[in-house]
Amino acid sequence: MKKMIALALACALSATLLAGCAMDDPQSSGASESTSGVGSGKREVNICSWGEYIDTSLIAQFEEETGIKVNYQTTDSNETLYNLLETTGWSGFDVVVPSDYMISQLIEEGRLAELNYDNIPNFAKIDDRFKNLSYDPENKYTVPYTWGTLGIIYNTQRVTEPVTWDLMFDPDHAGDVLMIRNSRDAFGIALMSLGYSVNTTNEEEIRQAYERVAQANKDGVYQAFVMDEVFQLMESGSAAASTYYAGDYLSMLEANPDLAYAVPESGSNWFVDAMCVLKDAKNKDEAEEWINFLCSTEASLANMDYIWYASPNKEALEKYPEYYEETYGEPLDEELYEIMAAPQGVLDRCEAYLVLPAETRTLYNDLWTQLGVAG
Amino acid sequence: MRNKLSWFAVPYVVWMALFTVAPVVMVVIYAFTTSTGGFTLDNFARMGDFAVVFARSFQMALIATLICLLIGYPLSYFMAKEGPSFQKVATVLIMLPMWMNFLLRTYAWVSILENNGLLNRLFAAIGIIDLGNLINGGLNSLCAWLNSGVLDWLNGMLGTEFVLNTARATDMTYFRMLYTQGAVVLGMVYNYLPFMVLPIYSVIVKLDNSLLEAARDLGASSSRVFRKVIFPLSLPGVLSGVTMVFVPSVSTFAISKMLGGGTKLLLGDLIELQFLGGAYNPYLGSAISLVMMVIVVVCMYVMNRFGEGEEQAVML
């Protein structure tokens, strides 16, 4: 599924590139705003998010309520998203939903528009815990969408507990482990297994982390590097362990009850994905309307139920167990709820990703290429 | 005087200029450019780091092409010899998979090949996996016996230290098929086989029968007719088949990512990584693409020259 989207995107990209060249002139002559004007009757909003990251009926509901056409696309990682934005000239999308560290980078580079929070009254419903976080200290650019932890998903039939990060490098499980296919998480896991900070800029520590992943890859520990392919492989039992996000674990659990999730005692990463509007967005009003819509308690509840990622909407978060019981006629397992919405005790041992300086990002990218080249 | 009908070619020429020539020119320009817009050869200087990937990709594409040829040639040959109604049905059957999206077809292989997939469950059900364990166990004891007997003696004589592997798995519950290089080659063969069969078939089916009759009249055995007449005359089909399989195989990224698991990058993956992966470096990506294109063009040129020679020899 991911791949299809990737290829479709690649095609879309080449088309946009050409279109971009041809259409630069009329836009720079100042006529661009009229195309998205309210009176034209063709309101639309272009969104780029992650795969399996929204209750799709919400899109239809939004279109029906507002008459705004939603063009919804997905990518599979923050790095891919960044490059997609780069190739579409930073104006192909209105709303994006990057993670914390990528948001910092986008703010730093001046890519994001300051939001008009008057147009997003539902922002008031967001729990104060998720406002003014380090990636957007004055909360001028973002509205949090989901949050959660990174952890180990494992098959209890084949992996002995307790699990630590070493599982991700264990030759005893050769061919049975899935490593995540993005440099930040993959090297982050190795850094955590070595007891270093995920935000280290020390080249020596990052190289050690690379060696750890490269050695495991050489030893055949990894069945594959995956993003959303992880769903199928873990659900069918074709792999015994992987690192992925808490919400996605809960989706997999519905298909395979042998799966378990753990945030290692030594700590992990916790993340916030937030909605932002690009500075060069063509449909800023529509973008804010969309953001406001998704912040509502109803939409947040529907989303939580569909994608199993915790919402930062305080009311929705508190109401969810009740909502679940009403919808399914059985109480929500406390343990599952705590995996979705990690209690403060778990968050305390987790570290959020911070934006890395440019030279460290280059190092990450070079090492990531080297990893696949070496094989 | 120019043919007036040549105006009808204009749409295609425009199309080609926009979508073939322009992108190639862009790739060439990017390959020699730095991120600040200056001229550079640095992108090519880094190519040595990727030699492994070039070798890996060309090797796998070559294997896939050979397999396609070995399967495709006999198939096209016998198809061309059958009656017209059989040919029609066979052509449709060969084309049939191509009516469905190539990514979906390839994705289907994931659920067929995965460790708990359809094929492994079938193998387990009919005892093939147990048989594999049994054979491995047998091989292990055989090797252990050889190690302690013949090899011991041989090593003693030659002063060497040959030891046979006795650690083959005997507790397999599945065969590892998905995310191996074999799976990638399978994906290439599966997707590109029609591109080998159809050109060869269309050449063989149009062979002038009188040439074959003449060869037989002159006393050639059927194997000699095939070697000296049919095969050389079908070479143009083989060459275009080989090109149409090899070129997409060497640059594929969808197949290798879906079936190869990304633990060993192929050229297509490496190029994709420069554009959509962590490192946004279209300059390096273009340079790698350019080197790949040049190597492919050189290969094709050499092969076509070789092909021409053969054809002329036959004509004489």
Q: pLDDT digits over A273-313, tens only?
A: 999 999 999 999 999 999 999 999 999 999 999 999 999 99
Write out pLDDT tens, residues A223-281.
999 998 999 999 999 999 999 999 999 999 999 999 999 999 999 999 999 999 999 99
* CB pair distance less than 8 Å for B262 and A84: no
- Asked whether residue A322 carries a pLDDT value surpassing 70, the answer given is yes
C-alpha distance from B244 to closest chain A C-alpha (Å): 20
φ, ψ dihedrals at B183, nearest 5°: -65, -35
Q: Which residues of B touch A184 (CB under 8 A)?
A: 278
Question: For A152, phi and psi rounded to 5 degrees?
Answer: -100, 125
CB of B255 within 8 Å of a chain A CB? The answer is no
Sequence-ordered list of residues with C-beta below 8 angstroms from that of B289, at least 6 positions apart, any chain: B27, B31, B271
- In percent, the amount of chain A with pLDDT more than 70 equals 89
CB nearest B278 (choices: A183, A222, A233): A183
Beta bridge partners of A150: A245
Alpha helices in chain A (DSSP H): 2-26, 32-35, 57-66, 78-87, 100-108, 183-193, 203-218, 230-235, 246-255, 284-295, 297-307, 314-328, 334-340, 344-348, 358-374
Q: Where in chain A are all domains bearing CATH 3.40.190.10? A: 2-145+272-341, 148-269+347-371
Check residues A161 and B41 and name the one with the higher pLDDT: B41
Q: What is the pLDDT of residue A36?
A: 41
CB contact under 8 A, A183 and B107: no
Nearest-CB residue to A79 (from B104, B106, B278): B278
Residue B83 structure tokens: 């009656």
A233–B114 CB contact, under 8 Å: yes
Query: What is the pLDDT of chain B when averaged over all its residues?
Result: 90
In A, what residues contact B, Cβ < 8 A?
Answer: 1, 3-4, 6-7, 9-10, 14, 18, 79-80, 82-84, 86-87, 175, 181-184, 217, 222-226, 229, 232-233, 236-239, 362, 364-366, 368-370, 372-375
Token pair of A242 as six digits? 């992987």
pLDDT tens-place string over residues A81-137? 998 998 888 999 999 999 999 999 999 999 999 999 999 999 999 999 999 999 999
The reply to whether residue B52 touches residue A14, judged by beta carbons under 8 angstroms, is no
Residues contacting B276, CB < 8 A, separation 6+ = A6, A9, A10, A80, A83, A84
Query: Chain-centre distance of CA A341, in angstroms?
Result: 16
Mutate to test the interface with A, among B106, B280, B283 (most CBs of A within 10 A): B280
Q: List pLDDT tens digits, range B84-110.
A: 999 999 999 999 988 999 999 999 999
What's the CATH number of domain B32-114+177-315, 3.40.718.10, 3.40.50.2000, 3.40.640.10, 1.10.3720.10? Answer: 1.10.3720.10
Q: What is the pLDDT of residue A40?
A: 53
Q: Is the peptide bond before A162 cis (omega within 30 degrees of 0)?
A: yes
Q: Is the confidence at residue B28, as pLDDT, over 70?
A: yes
Q: Is the pLDDT of residue A212 over 60?
A: yes
What local confidence, expressed as pLDDT, does residue B291 receive? 96
Residues of A in contact with B56 (CB under 8 A): 375
Question: CA-nearest residue of chain A to B264?
Answer: A375
The count of CB pairs under 8 A between chains A and B is: 111
For B271, name the nearest residue in chain A, comparing CA atoms only: A369
What residues of A are in contact with residue B18 (Cβ under 8 Å)?
Answer: 18
- Amino acid occupying residue A103: I
Q: How far is A257 from chain B (nearest CA, A)?
A: 16
Asked if A232's CB is within 8 angstroms of B114's CB, the reply is yes
Of A77-91, A345-359, B155-169, which range is least confident?
B155-169
- Write out pLDDT tens, residues B135-158: 999 999 998 888 888 888 888 888
B176–A4 CB contact, under 8 Å:
no
What are the residue ranges spanned by the domains of chain B? 32-114+177-315
Structure confidence by residue, pLDDT tens digits, B187-234? 999 999 999 999 999 999 999 889 989 999 999 998 999 998 999 999
For the complex shown, is ipTM > 0.90?
A: no
The domain over range A148-269+347-371 is classified in CATH as 3.30.420.40: no
Give Cβ neighbours of residue B163 (< 8 Å, ≥ 6 apart): B147, B151
Q: Is B77 on the interface with A (CB under 8 A)?
A: no
Average pLDDT over residues A49-72: 94
**Residue A161 pLDDT class (50, 70, 90 cuts):** confident
Q: What are the backbone angles phi and psi of residue B179, rounded to the nearest 5°?
A: 60, 40
To which residue do tokens 């590109």 refer? B192
Q: What is the C-alpha separation between A77 and A98, in angstroms, rounded?
A: 8
Confidence of residue B314 (pLDDT cuts 50, 70, 90): very low
Q: Which residues of B touch A224 (CB under 8 A)?
A: 178-179, 260-263
Res. A30 pLDDT band, cuts 50 70 90: very low
Backbone angles phi, psi at A126, to 5 degrees: -70, 135
If you measure CA to CA, which chain B residue comes closest to A358? B279
Encoded amino acid at A304, one letter:
M
Is 50 exceeded by the pLDDT of residue A35?
no
The answer to pTM > 0.80 is yes
Contact B49 A373 (CB under 8 A): yes
Residues of B in Cβ contact (< 8 Å) with A356: none
CB-CB neighbors (< 8 A) of B272 in chain A: 10
Q: Please give the average per-residue pLDDT across A157-165, as a whole number.
A: 92
Determine the Cα–Cα distance for residues A113 and A93; give it in Å rounded to an integer: 12
Would you say residue A9 has pLDDT above 60?
A: no
User: CA angle A241-A247-A248, nearest 5°?
Assistant: 45
Residues in chain B closer than 8 A to A213 (CB atoms): none
Residues of A whose CB is below 8 A from B276: 6, 9-10, 80, 83-84
Nearest to A84 among B49, B262, B276 (CB): B276
Rounded-to-integer distance, Cα B183 and Cα B176, Å: 10
Bin A54: left if φ > 0, else alpha if -120 < ψ < 50, else beta.
beta
Name the least confident of A64-68, A246-250, B46-50, B151-155: B151-155
Chain B: closest CA distance from residue A342 (Å): 29
* Domain at A2-145+272-341, CATH class: alpha beta
User: Is B105 in the A-facing interface, judged by CB distances under 8 Å?
Assistant: no
- List, for residues B62-84, the tens digit of each pLDDT value: 999 999 999 999 999 999 989 89
| Rounded Cα–Cα distance for residues A325 and A316 (Å) | 14
